[in-house]
């Protein structure tokens, strides 16, 4: 959803710029401002991807119920814990 918002806000500027019709207040440099916009859009898209990944993580864990009875406290060392499922191996504790 955030990717769509970013595209909707930048696509008209890029289209207009491609036709040489972007004007910047105070006779500013359109090339410089559009370069800045492209860099910001790239950053925003990366942030949007991260936001989407965090949301997917939340959606995946939300319906889970955990039976923690008898499991050692999470602050114990990893050698005190049972092995992690293969899907989680290599992830930081």
pLDDT in tens, the chain (93 residues): 778 888 898 999 999 999 999 999 999 999 999 999 999 999 998 898 898 899 999 999 988 888 888 888 766 655 555 666 666 665 555
> Which tokens go with 84?
């992690």
What is the value of pTM for the model shown? Answer: 0.55
The pLDDT assigned to 84 comes to 65
The DSSP secondary structure of 21-86, one letter per residue, reads ----GGG--HHHHHHHHHHHHHHHHHHHHHHHHHHHHHHHHTT-----TTPPPTTS-GGGSPPPPG
- pLDDT, residue 78, reads 58
Predicted local distance difference test score (pLDDT) of residue 91: 59
92/86 Cα distance (integer angstroms) = 13
Going from N- to C-terminal start, the domains of the chain cover: 1-61
Q: State how far the Cα of 65 lies from the Cα of 42, in Å rounded to an integer.
A: 38
């Amino acid at each position: 959803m955030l990717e769509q918002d970013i595209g909707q806000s930048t696509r008209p500027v890029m289209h207009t710029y491609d036709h040489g019709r972007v004007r910047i207040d105070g006779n500013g440099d359109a090339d410089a401002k559009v370069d800045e916009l492209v860099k910001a859009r790239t950053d925003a898209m990366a942030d949007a991807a991260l936001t989407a990944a965090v949301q997917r993580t939340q959606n995946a864990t939300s319906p889970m119920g955990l039976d923690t009875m008898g499991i050692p406290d999470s602050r114990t060392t990893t050698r005190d814990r049972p092995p992690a499922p293969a899907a989680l191996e290599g992830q930081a504790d």
